[in-house]
Chain A
Amino acid sequence: MSVDMPAATGRYPDATGHFGRFGGRFVPEALVAALDELDGAWRTAMGDESFQTEFAALLRDYAGTPSLLYPARRLSAKIGAQVLLKREDLNHTGAHKVRNVLGQALLTKRMGKRRVIAETGAGQHGVATATAAALFDLECVVYMGEVDTQRQALNVARMRMLGATVVPVTAGSRTLKDAMNEAMRDWVANVDNTHYLIGTAAGPHPFPALVRDFVRGIGDEARQQCLDLVGALPDAVTACVGGGSNALGVFHAFVDDPSVRLYGFEAGGDGPATGRHAASITGGSSGVLHGTRTYVLQDADGQTVESHSISAGLDYPGVGPEHAWLHDTGRATYRPVTDADAMAAFELLCRTEGIIPAIESSHALAGTVAIAPELAAELGREPVVVVNLSGRGDKDVHTAGEYFGVLDKE
């Protein structure tokens, strides 16, 4: 297949929101006017100094960025690579997602809308959205699969404390994808006064590009920090990929640096061969889901297949279209990481660095452990790897505690 090589900074997607054969808009006509409005607001904001100044101030004073790029020396010694952790886990609300919600909340205000809706799986994006809604005084409704509201009762409570309404979704598989369907239905009915604050770089155009632009600071910061720290670009940048916003955020600044290898690690669940995974790129096929053409977990009839992962944040049967395209062009490499390998990396970071990572981010760590010897062999020296530590593990203490058997029986 012959495809154009990606280039950073605004050249992709094309004017109609396509990344090669991926992306676009597969939505009810009722939403097109709102997507056009959003597209216009986003393009204007990107070129508007006052918007950028306001956004930068929020990121600095409220979210606590730039996040640190931390040389993880004990981990590095264990795995044979110089690991630089991009500490997005230290941001307000505990993950990279705060960057996206602040950007979209600012846009919402600019469009004169008073209400935001969001979908959430584990509740992290819901909490982040509720946070931004509180800060911007917006009405906030979060759709969450009924199964997830039970599994993540603490996050439901957090959202309510922040003033959001949490709506349990009882349709379909009662998880993230169904929450997304329900949010789309709400949006179709209330598009006049409502912005759909999508939580990842997926969905119909302009969402994939817009979300990428709001989180790309991760990579912009990391690139400069790495130059400052080691005097050179990294040999590789790694991230976990569910919908893919944290990965795009850290990749984007490096896409035009051919020496920097980009690795996305998908949730391999019980293992790709078992069929119980959430690896849309490495274990799925091209299709249309939630308004975009991308890689999807589906059966022969195009029905979405349920995903499985120990990490709720990666448990989604699709992926952002830009990742599908980075995969097709070969610019980024995607591999699955099993639950077991991710949890081993979770424990490794806890014990070597005193950092409890999100289980999502543990997939990036596990993938980094796996590629370190490959890179060292190829380069003939210890590789320098920037790992996006996209979130902290507080929310995962229960899951991890059960997994490792460290919870006292009551």
Chain B
Amino acid sequence: MSRIGVAFDQARAEGRAVLVGCMPAGFPTVEGSIAAMTAMVEAGVDVIEVEIPYSDPVMDGPVIQRASDIALAGGVRVADTLRIVDAVAATGAPVVTMTYWNPIEQYGVDAFARDLAAAGGTGLITPDLIPDEAQEWLAASDAYGLDRTFLVSPSSTDARLQMTVEHCRGFVYATAIMGVTGARTQASAAAPVLASRVRAVTDLPVGIGLGIGTGEQAGTAAGFADGVIVGSALIRCLLDAASLPAGLTALRELSAELAAGVRSPAR
């Protein structure tokens, strides 16, 4: 079982959900992102999702777009991402990488899988790679023992949901809403329905993402999902802060609030 699977099992045993926290690599700087991810782990985030910044992130809302632009303007490279994965994995938390497909294709799919495994990464979340186009990644992830998290959506047909889940390993990413990343004030009615549709076809843990930004929302999501994925709200802590230390303080506070949230699942 992968390190992420272990984290989900432990959380299940504790009657809570896993908290997955996302941060773009190299935001605000390479060292700053390592400090941010480490602070998140220390404050109770179970799994770190390192997003590779990309010039054209069509699944991301304004917050992640801005953070990605800052990282890219700072000159972050895909190779830096691997260094960040390595540093954060040293904290003991499982580290999964989220990436649009073109950076991986240009690095070389097999080479990236090899280097990600060597850096201690658990696998990839691929927002714009569907299993239909993933032959090379399926082979490379098998070869290096990496997890594959494809997305399922409220609009996925039953047949596609089944097919997609069959290609997943580690956990399934269920998008709570039809839309892009970014915290929302309203709860999603589609999310619990989608989570139960996934459960009907797999024993893999279900992570729910998109639109979750507070401890209360995390608690609600923890009521029906195995994992709660938060990105924009955490990133905003750094974007809105006057300095990196102030940002890290805010980031720790929100991480702790979310960690408490996933420990109080609304049933």
Please report A residues at the B interface, Cβ cutoff 8 Å: 16, 24-34, 171-172, 177-178, 181, 184-185, 188-192, 287-291, 296, 298, 300-304
Contacts and interface: CB of A to CB of B under 8 A. Distances in A.
B65 A302 contact: no
Interface in B144-190: 150-157, 160, 164, 175, 177-180
B56 interface: yes
Contacts of B127: 28
A33 B58 contact: no
Contacts of A185: 58-59, 61, 179-180
A302 B104 CA distance: 8
Interface residues on B, range: 35 or more
Contacts of A296: 102
Given A28-B127, A28-B175, A29-B150, 15 more contacts: A25-B132, A26-B129, A29-B175, A30-B175, A171-B65, A171-B69, A172-B56, A181-B57, A181-B58, A185-B58, A185-B59, A185-B61, A188-B180, A191-B155, A290-B56
Nearest to A30: B153
Contacts of A31: 155
10 contacts: A25-B133, A26-B130, A29-B150, A29-B175, A30-B151, A30-B156, A32-B160, A172-B56, A287-B106, A290-B56
B103 A301 contact: yes
A6 to B, nearest CB: 22
A298 B157 contact: no
B56 A181 contact: yes
Nearest to A16: B132
Nearest to A285: B106
A74 B264 CA distance: 81
Contacts of B83: none
Interface of B: 54-59, 61-62, 65, 69, 72, 77-78, 101-107, 127-130, 132-133, 150-157, 160, 164, 175, 177-180
B105 A288 contact: yes
A298 B56 CA distance: 11
- Which 6 pairs across A and B sit closest by C-beta, in order of nearness? A302-B106, A30-B153, A302-B102, A189-B179, A302-B103, A288-B102
Contact of B153 (A16, A28, A177): A28
A127 to B, nearest CB: 24
Contacts of B164: 29
B101 to A, nearest CB: 5
A171 B62 CA distance: 8
- Interface majority SS (helix, strand, loop, mixed), chain A: mixed
Contacts of A191: 155, 178
Contacts of B59: 28, 185, 188
Contacts of A301: 77-78, 103, 106-107
A33 B178 contact: no
Contacts of A190: 178
Contacts of B151: 28-30
A30 to B, nearest CB: 4
Of B128, B151, B154, chain A has the most CB atoms within 10 Å of the CB of B128
Contact of B160 (A29, A291, A302): A29
A354 B55 CA distance: 43
Contacts of B77: 301
Contacts of A304: 55-56, 102
Nearest to B99: A302
Contacts of A29: 130, 150-153, 155-156, 160, 164, 175
Contacts of B150: 29
A181 B77 CA distance: 22
Nearest to B81: A301
A26 B57 CA distance: 12
A177 to B, nearest CB: 6
Q: B54, B55, B69: which has the most chain A beta carbons within 10 Å?
A: B55
Nearest to A26: B128
A116 B68 CA distance: 29
